[in-house]
A and B are shown apart, each in its own frame.
Chain A
Amino acid sequence: MANLLPQPGPILPQPGPEQGAANTMTQRHRKFASYYGDETLDPFQGSYTKILERLDPETNNGLSHVMLLEQAVGTGACPQAYLCCMSQQQRTRVYCIHLPSRFTSSLDGQVTQWDSCAFAFLGELIQGTVQSVILPSDAFRISNNVRAKSTDYIVTHLDEVADAGLPPIPNEQEDATVVSTRRITYLPARYVPFLLDPAGYTLRQV
């Protein structure tokens, strides 16, 4: 999965400390859509170029996926979301996982099956609860030498590509390019409210 995402909008003005505090006090988020839609909570304030370039293996191939995972799960309750693909029954759907975290072992030494496991939330809250999924340890692993069609081609042939899921691209196709990509892609906070369906989305919907 390439790291090409919609171009971010204009840089939002940085709220002052008093203004930010006031917004935090007045915004009573009870849904993740509201939480991610709150621009005052966005850690990058609408400027995603730096984070996208850092996670793009085409420009920053030396960044270890283990380090990225540790950084992601160590951020805490900070708006952070990723897109990933999952194939089930020969159908590929796109999911939004967010708020990755590392299970914290108990100080009293009680061993649980979740020790050192990483988790993430899947989609929006439904009736006060949210689905948790296990975040694989190689979620940020880089896949090199991946042949991919261009964005323009996919947009132009959306019906063909979407119906076929993720069809393999033969080597003889000259319009494909070889890229490096990670298995999950950073999703800017401002786009998260549009992709919070726990059931995921088809390629056409995305």
Chain B
Amino acid sequence: MGTMVVANNVQALHPTSLCITLTVPIADHHLMNHCMTLLKQALPYLNQPTETLELAITQMAAAVTHNTNEQRLARDDREAKEKAPKLPSDKFSRTIVVLFELLQITDEVNLPLVWHDWANCTKRQELQVLTERSHAFTRSTEAFSTCAPVVSPKLIQDLLNFTFVSDSPDDTKTGLQPFIVADGSAEHRQANLELARMYSFLASGENALMLAD
């Protein structure tokens, strides 16, 4: 606007000769109505909610919808995970590496089935799972004994903690575990082998205990 020329009237010799007098009327309701009518014609959205308010409401509604959808998806995902079969790494995440090393495998798919069963059962069901697996193993062609081992809670605990050596050679709290090869001292290994031999001797063949006994 810097190019606007302001001129002066030489005859009046005063700049106010070109100035206009703007009078602010004391508005009554007649004038107010007149102005408001014109104002509404020019700015029909004047008294409607502002765009920022509408935008805020829209954004808030979008955020609520987004959060609701996120929660629903998370809930569905969680339920699907709960329903899906768990892997041993899900339950034994901290000890699975040791187990891999002991069994010399790299994929948990190759773990013994009992570990997969344990991954999908509760703690109370662990003993029952191992018992059923032991019985199934004794009925299989790979079984080296026809009698199922006696499973105790201590045996479960030792297996989960990778304690394959009993506290004492004669400690029966860990159950009878003829299929376990102890990697402890020579004395322990000898005791376990003897225990397994005695167990097999008592449970099979002519020396087996009969109901009549």
Q: Which residues of A contact B (CB under 8 A)?
A: 1-2, 4-6, 28-32, 35, 76-77, 83-87, 92, 95, 97, 99, 101, 103-104, 106, 112-114, 119, 121-122, 125, 128, 130-134, 136, 139, 143, 145-151, 154-155, 158, 161, 165-171, 179, 181, 183-185, 191, 194-195, 203, 206
Contacts and interface: CB of A to CB of B under 8 A. Distances in A.
Interface stretch (B15-23, B83-91, B102-110, B119-127): B15-23
Interface string B1-27: 111111111111111111111111101
Interface string B41-81: 11101111011000000000000000000000000000000
Contacts of B94: none
Interface stretch (B29-37, B171-179, B190-198): B29-37
Interface of B: 1-25, 27-28, 30-31, 34-35, 38-39, 41-43, 45-48, 50-51
Contact of B8 (A132, A146, A194): A146
A134 B23 contact: yes
A181 B48 CA distance: 42
Contacts of B30: 103, 106, 112, 114
A5 B3 contact: yes
Nearest to B20: A84
A148 B7 contact: yes
Majority secondary structure, A binding face: mixed
Contacts of B31: 103, 112, 114, 119, 132
A145 B42 CA distance: 38
A124 to B, nearest CB: 11
